[in-house]
Structure 1
Amino acid sequence: MAFPKVFRGRASFAALVTLLAVATASPVALPAQPQDPPGQGLTWQVQGNNPGEINCETDRSSDYYGLGVRLGIYMAWLTGWIANNWVPEEIAGAMDTNAIFLFALVIAVVRCTSTDLVSQMDGVMLMHLAGGTIFSVISIWGYRTCWYTKEGPRGIANFGGFGTHLRLLLCMAVSTYGLWFWYFGMAGSLKSGTGACQVTWTFFFAKLRADGGIRKWYIFKYVVCLIYFGIMTAVSIIGPISRIMKMAWLARYKFFRTSSRLKYATGYTYGELRGIFAVLRFTNFFWIIFSMVTCEFTLNYNHVQSVLGENGRIFFPSQLIPLVIGASSLIRVVYIGLEEWRAPGDHRPSLEEAPTEPRRPNPLPRRRDLFKLFAPTSADERASSPITEDGALLHFENSDVDEEMIGKPRWCRYLVSYLPWLQAAIQWWRIRNEPENPTADSRQLEHAHEPRLPSDLEKATERRRETWSSDDTLTAVDRHKSLNDVL
């Protein structure tokens, strides 16, 4: 019996749908997954590409510390170091990039440890990567950044927000896990390898067993870190509590236009800040290079061939995404740093909107003059000295200290430098406990979070600002010259 053509088409479509439904609903027999025998762990020995070559594989080595992941983290370290030393505008972005990588590592290591998916080899590598981030570029209050050399003690105004507290919590989490890993994980709580991969090696200026004497050094190191970051974490609770109470107090007196930010202060003098920065800029770079060498030597000592060289499978998304993020961040900060070097303080577009001589040819330099492409541009005078937006010259002496710390003993200044939350809370409570003149309190609170000029320049700048207010045509350069005449 012949069906009409339309019914034959519908019958074929119905049959196709039925076959697809049966195929998707039917159970598929998957090949048996090899399971580790009891006590053998997640790291095992496989046959290498060459006869006699040892190749130690782990279940998730590529996801934890594959070639793309490592290169992305290495470039993020260099991005942070360059920004911390020369490009203050990129410090926040570089710290965020490193914090994101560290946050991902913390989540991965904690989650996979709880499900028994981290071997001793994996833990050693993750600790090296996390330690390289914490001890080289991550900064809680910015003492390893150039903000304090450019803005003096008031550079702390760039810190104390959400990013500061997030980085502190990440450092605390890494310190806690690091102590557990080296004390319990390397003592048998995490699985080791089998065969020639049973011993986990690490690098510390030499090839060392990770469960040997170097383990005591790492235990001591993370005990110190846990105490250091633990005290900061406990005291940091004062910050949000004080701010919430300040917001309630401002709402009570209807000061809705007054900022609720707290004013933090550092107890270090300008000379001390410069000395700290000069030391840290070199020690941080050394630690970056040392951490890179440690990671690569550790992988080679443990024969993890699947994440080395051409075996890294860098084209997979799990490797390509962190690599692209790290490379993009590094290229950006290098470009901005080069622009800042060529024309300090000049962030205008490179070309004018309307060229003055559009018909005149302007060929590129040739031969020996080719290097003139990298010569500094003719920057204007305002770039010779740091100037604020209102034209005030920033100048600091080595003895300059935050006005809140003037006259305080040295132990108090250093304590506040380590725990700025204490000074912010004390200042807020002092203002709060003087309710006789709420309007004056409002003015103090409104400017409590704003940076101030050094005391030796306040009178001169205030006199000049009175004359500047009557003449809007004065440029920043004119104000700079006028202020220098007074000083």
Structure 2
Amino acid sequence: MSQQIRFSILVVTAAILAARIAATAPASSQPPPSLRHRQRDEECGFAGNSDLYGLGICLGVYLQWISSLVVWAWYPEGSASLMQTYLIFLFAIMIVVLVSTLQDAPLFAGEIVVLTYIVFGGVYSMIFQTVTRRKARPVAGPSPIMWLALFSLLGTAGVYCSWFWLGGLHGHMLPTPCGTHTFFFTKVSVYEPAISKFFGTLSILFSVSFVPQPLLYLSTRIGPLSKLDEEWKLLLSPWTSSYTRESRGRLLIEAPIFSVILCIYPIIAVELILHWNSIRDVYTINTTGQLIPFTIALTGFVRCIYKSIEEKLPMGLRSEIEGAAEPPPVPTEGEQPDDAATVESKPKSLPNTAEVRPCGQMDG
């Protein structure tokens, strides 16, 4: 038997023995990496409330923040309608949070941290952008009633967050099994004394800033408090005075930069907090509670884009598009063409039937 045949037989025999040994060997106790990651999430995390901070809700909020950038830059007249949508989102979230807290429903601290970023992440984009844009380019903004509702909701959210960080976090909220973390330029624990005190102090400052605003608005409607309102206006006049031409130009450069940064930061924070706390079942849009807000926000975003493009069109092209979109009016029965109507509208001259005589002259 040649050496090649012997070598082939040895190779085949070794392969058969290796296969039999592999088949009879006990399975490895280590699951695949994907399964290990899933088991860790189930052990460390919890099933989240998709109707409160699910994918549809988060995408809807993100679209509102991005829409605010579009509105600030190209379509400032749309700030009122955008604030209406933001108020609806904010009101619904605060109602659910307050009712769940008052009913002693099991709430995880990580959930409140996510909602904190969702609520206050749009404060700059919805308030300060509107104010600065109106100073740089005066336009009709949201009505006083909208401002009153917004400041009332943000004041309520500030008071709630102050209670959460300084008291509710340690005795009324459930901790995540493997630790509750938040985002503050890095991964930090919410139970760190410095972190909880910092966010608690920040929440108090928000409360002090927003809670008096509805009272000041109401003071203008009540006689005895009108003097207090005037004193507040004098106190705030250095910060609310009209901008000079140089400051307006600087504002138009600085505001977009801060807008983009303060829009990206809360988006990153929300997504990292959901991941770090292993919050499950929140990355699908399969419930009515998510589809409706997402559809509303998407419609508003598309409208902002459309209006912004329309504003940038030349006036002549815009008139042609609007004229082509509107069919010419069809005259109904009994109506006359424009030329006939013009002729008909001219006053007719009266015939000269009598000679004009001087006063007092009589017929002969």
Instruction: Tell me, in whole angstroms, the C-alpha distance in 1 between the residues paired with 2:262 and 2:312.
Output: 25
- Could you tell me how far 1:111 is from its partner in structure 2? 1.1
Q: Secondary structure at the match of 1:208?
A: strand
- The residue number in structure 2 matching 1:211 is 191
TM-score, with structure 2 as normaliser: 0.68
Instruction: Tell me, in whole angstroms, the C-alpha distance in 1 between the residues paired with 2:256 and 2:78.
Output: 16
Instruction: Tell me, in whole angstroms, the C-alpha distance in 2 between the residues paired with 1:220 and 1:346.
Output: 54
- Could you tell me how far 1:240 is from its partner in structure 2? 2.8
In structure 2, relative to structure 1, the CA distance for the partners of 1:277 and 1:221 (3 Å cut) is farther
1:301 aligns with 2:276: yes
The residue type paired with residue 307 of structure 2 is I
Q: Secondary structure at the match of 2:122?
A: helix
Contact 2:155 2:207 in 1 (8 A): yes
1:325 aligns with 2:296: yes
The residue type paired with residue 162 of structure 2 is L
Q: When you count helix as a share of all residues, which structure comes out higher?
A: 2
1:285 aligns with 2:260: yes
- The residue number in structure 2 matching 1:120 is 109
Matches within 5 A, 1:112-261: 112-117=100-105, 118-139=107-128, 142-144=130-132, 146-151=133-138, 155=139, 158-159=141-142, 161-194=144-177, 196=178, 199-212=179-192, 213-241=194-222
Q: CA RMSD in A?
A: 3.0
Instruction: Tell me, in whole angstroms, the C-alpha distance in 1 between the residues paired with 2:316 and 2:134.
Output: 15
Per-residue CA deviations over 1:271-302 (Å, capped at 9, x if unaligned) read 34554454333212211100000000111111
Per-residue CA deviations over 1:210-253 (Å, capped at 9, x if unaligned) read 121322221121121112223333322222336x99xxxxxxxx
Matches within 5 A, 1:338-377: 338-343=309-314, 348=319, 350=321, 352-353=323-324
- The residue number in structure 2 matching 1:27 is none
- Could you tell me how far 1:49 is from its partner in structure 2? 7.1
Instruction: Tell me, in whole angstroms, the C-alpha distance in 2 between the residues paired with 1:108 and 1:325.
Output: 19
In structure 2, relative to structure 1, the CA distance for the partners of 1:240 and 1:280 (3 Å cut) is farther
In structure 2, relative to structure 1, the CA distance for the partners of 1:134 and 1:123 (3 Å cut) is same
- The residue number in structure 1 matching 2:83 is 95
Contact 2:77 2:141 in 1 (8 A): no
Instruction: Tell me, in whole angstroms, the C-alpha distance in 2 between the residues paired with 1:99 and 1:344.
Output: 34
In structure 2, relative to structure 1, the CA distance for the partners of 1:98 and 1:277 (3 Å cut) is farther
Instruction: Tell me, in whole angstroms, the C-alpha distance in 1 between the residues paired with 2:93 and 2:171.
Output: 22
- The residue number in structure 1 matching 2:243 is 269
Give the number of equivalent residue pairs.
276
Q: Secondary structure at the match of 1:76?
A: helix
The residue type paired with residue 185 of structure 1 is G
Instruction: Tell me, in whole angstroms, the C-alpha distance in 2 between the residues paired with 1:228 and 1:336.
Output: 33
In structure 2, relative to structure 1, the CA distance for the partners of 1:121 and 1:344 (3 Å cut) is farther
Q: Which runs of 5+ in 2 are unaligned?
A: 1-32, 227-236, 327-364
Contact 1:99 1:138 in 2 (8 A): no
In structure 2, relative to structure 1, the CA distance for the partners of 1:171 and 1:160 (3 Å cut) is same
- The residue number in structure 2 matching 1:75 is 63
- The residue number in structure 1 matching 2:28 is none
The residue type paired with residue 85 of structure 1 is A
Per-residue CA deviations over 1:375-416 (Å, capped at 9, x if unaligned) read xxxxxxxxxxxxxxxxxxxxxxxxxxxxxxxxxxxxxxxxxx
Instruction: Tell me, in whole angstroms, the C-alpha distance in 2 between the residues paired with 1:136 and 1:328.
Output: 19
Contact 2:65 2:122 in 1 (8 A): yes
Contact 2:162 2:203 in 1 (8 A): yes
Contact 1:80 1:95 in 2 (8 A): no
Q: Secondary structure at the match of 1:190?
A: coil
Q: Which has the larger radius of gyration?
A: 2
Instruction: Tell me, in whole angstroms, the C-alpha distance in 2 between the residues paired with 1:222 and 1:183.
Output: 10
Instruction: Tell me, in whole angstroms, the C-alpha distance in 2 between the residues paired with 1:340 and 1:319.
Output: 32
- The residue number in structure 2 matching 1:108 is 96
- The residue number in structure 2 matching 1:433 is none
Q: Which runs of 5+ in 1 are unaligned?
A: 1-47, 246-264, 356-487
Contact 1:201 1:298 in 2 (8 A): yes
- The residue number in structure 2 matching 1:260 is none
The residue type paired with residue 322 of structure 1 is P
In structure 2, relative to structure 1, the CA distance for the partners of 1:79 and 1:346 (3 Å cut) is farther
TM-score, with structure 1 as normaliser: 0.52
In structure 2, relative to structure 1, the CA distance for the partners of 1:123 and 1:336 (3 Å cut) is same
Contact 1:172 1:230 in 2 (8 A): yes
The residue type paired with residue 185 of structure 2 is F
Per-residue CA deviations over 1:182-223 (Å, capped at 9, x if unaligned) read 1112222222234x3xx2111112111012132222112112
Per-residue CA deviations over 1:2-54 (Å, capped at 9, x if unaligned) read xxxxxxxxxxxxxxxxxxxxxxxxxxxxxxxxxxxxxxxxxxxxxx9713432
- The residue number in structure 1 matching 2:40 is 53
Kindly indicate whether structure 1 or structure 2 has the higher relative contact order, using CA contacts under 8 Å at least 6 residues apart. Answer: 2
In structure 2, relative to structure 1, the CA distance for the partners of 1:331 and 1:188 (3 Å cut) is same
Contact 1:98 1:138 in 2 (8 A): no
Among residues 279, 287, 290, which one is paired with 1:316 in the alignment?
287
